[in-house]
Every structure is written in structure tokens, then in C-alpha cells.
Amino acid sequence: MPWDPILFRNHFPFFSNDLDITYLDNAATTQKNIETINSLSFFYSHFNANVHRGAHYLSIKATELFEDARNKIQHFINAKNSNEIIFTKGTTDAINLVAFSYIEQFCKSGDNIITTPIEHHSNFVPWQLAAKRKDLELRVIPFNTNNYTLDLEAFKKLVDNNTKIIAITQVSNVLGIATPVNEIIQFAHSKNIPVLLDAAQSFPHMPIDVQQLDADFVSLSAHKFYGPTGIGILFGKEKWLAAMPPYQSGGEMIDQVSIDHTTFNELPFKFEAGTPNYADAIAWGATIDFINQCDKNLMFGYEEELWNYAYQKLSSLPFIKIFAIPEQKHYGALSFLLDGIHPYDAATVLDELKIAVRVGHHCAQPLMSILGVSGTIRASFAPYNTKDDIDKLVEGLKTVYKFFNKNK
């Protein structure tokens, strides 16, 4: 049986509001399924109490549900142990945690960090700041704009005895392509260097098995895969997390506090200072249950079909430049520009046509600069999108082109 986008879409109340919006900005955030929304509302209405605090029934129940959610996400990404799952505000928060705590513990002046120029600012700026703070060097793996690949030979030459961590995205939020994480992890591990994977854009579009990947750290956000905003995780191998000092301090994360000394709580609580976002974590658990009921092969296969359909339709427009090599496999995002039309102008008219796409630099300015553009238009897909949505985008782009050309 093929994937049925309409059946799937029926789970998302956003689309039944007759807003008549063609939503193609899923890489920024996805819509939420009813099970997630209901779970949040049901929890607040029936069980709300702070977690890990009281001995009273509600607090125990809330704690159980919160820890259940941790287990669900643990199993979803196949982590060995639930204490390797740290709840964070999202990807950005998770990366900042590592860029602070790992660097604090393991780096000294003169060491270096390796990343790529295709990162989201979330996986670039924290390392840049860490490098400034600790006098480290930030090295960048060259990206070849002719064949859209990272130069692995150059990468190997960048690695030396002072390389302390490699931070790399698994899927580009602008180009929608995957990076060669297996090769990078294998090479890094041959030198005992840990690797952080930014899975913000891969998580919604491919199965993630952290043990199979053998990644040391993985960051991701719930909201890009039907889950609530304000919640995500850092996965970290226990051996690293245990050795790292806390990131923030306060309640929950301590063991004993005296006037002159504090000992810290065990993992994962050491890294979860303050009241955690347990309600959204619990709702995220409901999201995961929902996703687990879907046939992921069909779902991801359909996404690829949508991307290919979009590529084929868009590339037939004579006035478009698409930032993609169709032979590569793509995950969600498709970037392009219209000849002689500024992306902001295109987006303004598309907005009038009720087509939601993203324009600008997509928080990836280093990539924009090597692509030689100030920004792109990005359409990004989810399994509730249909070929009809893409046809509307194509018609919209024709309208945009006609509008500005008549006005030339």
C-alpha cells in the first residue's frame, strides 16, 4: 500500500482550519499531530505537578510520565541507556551544552575543533565562541560547490593530535543533502576524537540509530518532527557525559550542597538544572508513539518521491536556478532562486498567494558565502504535503516571475 498523505494529514488539525495555506516550510518547524496536542492538554488538565520533587501522588505520576518520555526517545534513537538522554530546549541548547562542558573539560589553548561551512549557525557559532574563550582554532572542512560534497581528504589532513572534537551536521538545512558521517566518525575514532552530529534536519527524514552511527553526541529538536517546541535532547555517550562538568547550575542537578561545596546529581540530571520542560517532554513521548505507528520506510520513501517530483517540476521552469544535484539523495529541503528576482521579493508575492516558504540565509551564512548568494528560497516537505502543494508552488513561482518581469 502506498503512503497516503491525506490520511496522514488528517491527524494535523492545522490543516483542517481552512487557512488555505500551502505549508512548505517544514524544515523550520512542522505542524503538530492531534495526539501530541491532546497529550499536552490532557497532562496539564489531569496530572500537572513538578517532577522529581514531591512524594505526593501527582508528582510521582508526572515524574513517571517524564521518565517514560525519556525512555521512548532513548529507544527511538536506540541509545544504550536512558541516562545518555539529556532533555534540552532543543538542538541549539544541546550543542551549547557540549561547546561549554566538553570544551571546559577536555580543551586547552592551542587545541582545535573541526566543523564544516555548511552548518546551521547553531552548530557553528557556539564553537566559534568556545574557540575564542579557550584560545582554540576552529578548522573548517572544505565544501566543493561543484559536486556538493565535503572534501574528505582535506578533512583527514585537518585532523592532528590537538583536534579535540568534530562537530558536523548530518543533513544540511539549506541543501537537504546528507554528509558522510560514517567516514568522518570512523576516521575520528581511529584518532580517539569524539564526533557531535547535529541531527536537527536528519531526525525527521531518516532512521537514527546512535549505536550504529557510533556518534559521541547527537543533538535534535522535537519541533521539526511533529513534536512540541521548546524541547529536544542531547544524546551523549556515558563516558563523555560522566566526565563533563555541569553546564548550568541550580535545582535538580545537585546531590549535596553545603556552604563551601556542592556535589552533583548523577546523569542525566546533572545536566538538567531547574524545572525541566516536562510537559512538552511528555507530549513529545506521544509524538514518538504516533510516529512509531507509521511505516517509516513508506513515510521516508514518500518524502523522497515528493522531493523528486518537486525537482522535476521546478527544473522545468526556464527562469530558475536550483541548488541541487538530482543524483544525490535529498532529505526534505530544496533551495532555489529565480532569475533576476530578489528572494525577498519572491517571498512577498508567494506570501500573498498563501504559499509559505522560507527565504534568506537560513542561519547558514558561511554556506551562502561559498555558494556566492545572499540568500535562497527554500521549500521543505513533510509527509502531509501532496503533489498538489508542489503544483501550487510551481504556479506561484510562475506568477512571481510574470509579475516582476512585466514590471521590468
Partner 1 sequence: MNNIELKAKQIEEEFSIFDDWMDRYNILIDKAKNLEPLDPKYKTPQYLISGCQSQLWLFCEQKNGRLFCKADGDAIITKGMAAIVLELVNGEPLDDIVKYNFEVFDKIGLHSHLSPTRSNGLRSLIKQIKLYAEAYLLKNKSDD
Ligand X SMILES: Cc1ncc(COP(=O)(O)O)c(C=O)c1O
> Could you list the active site residues?
363
Which CB sits closer to ligand X, 228 or 396?
228
Under the binding rule (CB under 8 A), the answer on residue 345 touching partner 1 is: yes
Residue 121 and residue 132: Cα distance in Å, rounded? 16
Which range in 138-146, 181-189, 198-206, 386-394 contacts ligand X by CB under 6 A?
A: 198-206
Under the binding rule (CB under 6 A), the answer on residue 169 touching ligand X is: yes
Under the binding rule (CB under 6 A), the answer on residue 201 touching ligand X is: yes
List, in sequence order, every residue forming a beta bridge with 196; answer none if it has no partner: 167, 217
Quick check: 49 and 61 in contact, CB under 8 A?
Answer: yes
Under the binding rule (CB under 8 A), the answer on residue 344 touching partner 1 is: yes
For partner 1, the binding residues in 254-313 under the rule CB under 8 A are: none
The distance of closest approach from Cβ of residue 15 to ligand X in the complex, given in angstroms and rounded to an integer, is 22
Under the binding rule (CB under 6 A), the answer on residue 280 touching ligand X is: no
Binds 91: which of ligand X, partner 1, none (CB < 5-8 Å by kind) = ligand X
How many CB atoms lie under 10 A from the CB of residue 369? 12
Query: Which of residues 111, 198, 252, 303 is near ligand X by CB under 6 A?
Result: 198
Which CB sits closer to ligand X, 30 or 201?
201
Which range in 104-112, 187-195, 196-204, 376-384 contacts ligand X by CB under 6 A?
A: 196-204
Which CB sits closer to partner 1, 348 or 369?
348
Three cell numbers, residue 11: 491527524
Under the binding rule (CB under 8 A), the answer on residue 403 touching partner 1 is: yes
In one-letter notation, the amino acid at residue 186 is: Q
Under the binding rule (CB under 6 A), the answer on residue 91 touching ligand X is: yes
Residue 196 and residue 218: Cα distance in Å, rounded? 6
| Nearest residue to 215 (alpha-carbon basis) of 242, 243, 184, 190 | 184
Under the binding rule (CB under 8 A), the answer on residue 395 touching partner 1 is: no
Which CB sits closer to ligand X, 113 or 397?
113
H or E element, residue 160: none
Three cell numbers, residue 212: 550504529
Binds 230: which of partner 1, ligand X, none (CB < 5-8 Å by kind) = none
CA distances from 235 to 77, 142, 268, 272 (A): 9, 27, 10, 13
Residue 265: which residues within 8 A CB-CB, separation 6 or more? Answer: 252, 253, 254, 255
Which CB sits closer to ligand X, 139 or 378?
378
Under the binding rule (CB under 8 A), the answer on residue 349 touching partner 1 is: yes
Binds 122: which of partner 1, ligand X, none (CB < 5-8 Å by kind) = ligand X
Three cell numbers, residue 375: 540568500
β-pairing, 22-23 with 355-356? Answer: parallel
Residue 285 and residue 243: Cα distance in Å, rounded? 28
Instruction: Tell me, by CB under 8 A, how many residues bind partner 1.
Output: 16
Query: Which of residues 36, 116, 173, 287 is near ligand X by CB under 6 A?
Result: 173
The distance of closest approach from Cβ of residue 69 to ligand X in the complex, given in angstroms and rounded to an integer, is 17
* DSSP one-letter string for 339-406: TTB-HHHHHHHHHHTTEE-EEE-TT-HHHHHHHT-S-EEEEE--TT--HHHHHHHHHHHHHHHHHHHH
In one-letter notation, the amino acid at residue 164 is: K
Binds 374: which of ligand X, partner 1, none (CB < 5-8 Å by kind) = partner 1
Contacting residues toward partner 1, per CB under 8 A: 342-345, 347-349, 352, 359-361, 374-375, 403-404, 407
Contacting residues toward ligand X, per CB under 6 A: 90-92, 120, 122-123, 169, 173, 198, 200-201, 221
